[in-house]
Structure 1
Amino acid sequence: MPKPLIVITGASSGIGAATARLFSAQGHPLLLLARRLERMEELGLPDALCRKVDITDRPAVEAAVREAEERYGPVDLLVNNAGAMLLGRIADQPVDEWERMLDINVKGLLYATRAVLPAMVDRGAGTIVNIGSVAGRKTFPNHAAYVGTKFAVHSMSENLREEVAATGVRVVTVAPGAVETELLSHTSDERIKSDYQEWKESAGGALDPDEVAAAIAYAYGRPRHVTVREIVLAATGQES
């Protein structure tokens, strides 16, 4: 029997790419969404529809989901992974960095969720995995705006889970600590970037994206009557 369709946002690198490789190896068709089309195509995964989509473009997200469903059937899992981590101090961080994080981390997550959720509710089945963060549970220096977006992810995820629990739809939050991805490179403050890198090295390094992908697959793979509401994972040496 064919495996059901999985949608992954932010699929061009890091956790998204690792998750795509894992679920492809399990035989799932995929819809991969990101702004860097060539990076997704370079993954070379079978039955993977790759679309250049900015997660903040709601009509484009919805159109890609409809196209994938016409080809592969209903979406059974959405992995809301697209995100931006732009560290800075509220007193001097460029305001457009706050706005970009809010647009991607909060509104983009809502747009992708809306694209799949009504049909999941109608079918009485489906899983949404939202990638939160340890920074969605506690604060960190120079993280105020980013922390705000990730606290929003955690609270929205739990509230959505309550809304749809009776319908059979599952909502899961996966909250990693530091992960070896490209996220830090987008921070514009070089001193903050350097301090973060030193902190990460002092903890003995960060998680590999494959380890986060495995946590996503674990939650998805539980029996349909079981929802793993939240998984928090970090490198053993990461104290905070």
Structure 2
Amino acid sequence: MNAKTNTQAKTSTRKPLAVITGAGSGIGAATARTLSELGHPLLLLGRRADRIEALGLPDTLARSVDVTDEQAVAAAVHEAEALYGPVDLIVNNAGVMLLGAVAHQPTGEWERMFDVNVRGLLNGVRAVLPGMIERAHGTVINVSSVAGRKSYPGHTVYSGTKFAVHGMSDSLREEVAGHGVRVITIAPGAVETELLSHTTDVTIKADYQAFKDSIQVLDPQDVADAITFAYQRPQRVTLRELVIAATAQAA
């Protein structure tokens, strides 16, 4: 087999391109490792490209991109598709959790959560969805939270952004179902990630950490496995919503 034929063979057997936002740590990094092990080329987006590159994954394009920058997200997707072919999966995982009481929380924290958790997610969807519709194939996985299904004290604005993720995902699924595109919502409970470190309210942060310490919370790999399971179902099957939480997390 000559070099040209060998290249063609590799191209024909390679898994399709997957995009993961917030890929520098936690759920994003675990999902990246899992999909890479399955043979998928990856576009990994995050604020810290050095941490993504440190994962050392093959066939991976790492870009330091703020998901609130629509043009930067679209440009990174275009660059990755030129290398690896069309995007078949996007995992919109980037998010911030800034817990706080509405009466005292800085309004800048509200804006940051809506910018990243809502607008940033939409920017990821917009960057890949037209191509998926054109090809009548693709999967959008939006990472939400159990806080997008029920309320918790100190979570008011964060919950608002995650309720928005659930609502947008459901409506989007209805929009694209006839085009052969799947939309899946993954709603994790408490996970051992850096997410809590963003919270600036010392009391709420300490209370939440005490709750996490009192039970065995999810590992990021648990959520990555759920994402992978949902994606690996036949294209005709959509797990519309998957809620995953530690057994000991009652609420």
| TM-score class normalised by the smaller sequence | over 0.9
- What is the aligned partner in structure 1 of residue 122 from structure 2? 110
Q: Which runs of 5+ in 2 are unaligned?
A: 1-12
Shift of 1:199: 1.5
Secondary structure, counterpart of 2:89 in structure 1: strand
Secondary structure, counterpart of 1:175 in structure 2: strand
2:232 to 221, 224, 227: 221
1:50 to 62, 71, 74: 62
Are 2:139 and 1:127 equivalent residues in the alignment?
Answer: yes
1:23 to 12, 16, 35: 35
Give the paired residue count. Answer: 239
Give the whole-Å Cα distance in 2 for the aligned partners of 1:15 and 1:63.
24
Alpha-carbon displacement from aligned partner over 1:191-227 (angstroms, at most 9, x marks no partner): 111000111223x121000000000000000001000
Give the whole-Å Cα distance in 1 for the aligned partners of 2:179 and 2:144.
23
Are 2:193 and 1:207 equivalent residues in the alignment?
Answer: no
Are 2:21 and 1:14 equivalent residues in the alignment?
Answer: no
Instruction: Name the TM-score, length of structure 2 as normaliser.
Output: 0.95
Residue correspondence of structure 1 range 62-81 to structure 2 within 5 A = 62-81=74-93
Instruction: Name the TM-score, length of structure 1 as normaliser.
Output: 0.99
Q: Which runs of 5+ in 1 are unaligned?
A: none
- What is the aligned partner in structure 1 of residue 6 from structure 2? none
Secondary structure, counterpart of 1:184 in structure 2: helix
2:161 to 128, 146, 149: 149
- What is the aligned partner in structure 2 of residue 186 from structure 1? 198
Secondary structure, counterpart of 1:77 in structure 2: strand
Identity value in percent: 66
Which amino acid in 1 is paired with 2:191?
V
- CA RMSD of the aligned region, Å? 0.5
Alpha-carbon displacement from aligned partner over 1:139-195 (angstroms, at most 9, x marks no partner): 001000000000000000000000000110000000000000000001001111100
1:232 to 233, 237, 243: 243
Give the whole-Å Cα distance in 2 for the aligned partners of 1:96 and 1:129.
28
